[in-house]
Amino acid sequence: MINLEAARRIIAAAEKKAAELKQPMNIAVVDAGGNLVAHVRMDGAWIGSIDISIKKAFTSRAFDIATKDLAKHSQSGDQFFGIHASNGGKVMIFAGGIPIRDGNKKNGAVIGAIGVSGGSGAQDHAVAEAGAKAY
């Protein structure tokens, strides 16, 4: 279960990775219902990325998929084209959202997600991965 203690641990690991990359980030963690548990905006992170990080976390939990993988399938002509307009516009198809699984096993139940925004797609994904692994 993603409670506040777990969310803080996840965020701390993500912040550490962001600091290594020298890229301030917004980091959000949601529970199994896609509800925000915790969010942090590192000093210097873009204000506009607050909303994006929260929506990346929601998207990863709503569809149990990394947002970078969802993005691949949501291009014009692909099976999920237009998905970003669903769920009241809460779906983000940029890299940086990763589902968190029970025990972090590949086939474990999804119990929440992390969303990161503020850098390049590769940076956002790397920071999210570091956070997810901390669970």
Please report the DSSP string for 55-71 in residue order. Answer: HHHHHHHHHTS-HHHHH
pLDDT tens per residue across span 65-112: 999 999 888 888 878 888 888 888 899 999 999 999 987 566 789 999
pLDDT higher than threshold 80 for residue 62: yes
Cβ-based neighbours of 92, under 8 Å, separated by 6 or more? 52, 55, 56, 58, 59, 67, 84, 115
Ranges assigned E (strand) in 9-117: 26-31, 36-41, 97-101, 110-117
* 78 within 8 A of 112, measured Cβ to Cβ: no
Give 33: exposed, middle or buried? Use CB within 10 Å, 0-12, 13-18, 19+: exposed
Write down the pLDDT at residue 71: 87
**Domain boundaries along the sequence of the chain:** 4-133
Identify the weakest region by mean pLDDT among 12-26, 67-81, 119-133: 67-81
| CATH of span 4-133 | 3.30.450.150
pLDDT tens per residue across span 36-49: 999 999 999 999 99
Bridge partners, 40 (sequence order)? 27
> Count of alpha carbons within 13 Å of 101, Cβ hemisphere only?
12
From 26, 11, 23, 20, select the one nearest 100 (Cα to Cα).
11
Chain-centroid distance, C-alpha 85: 18
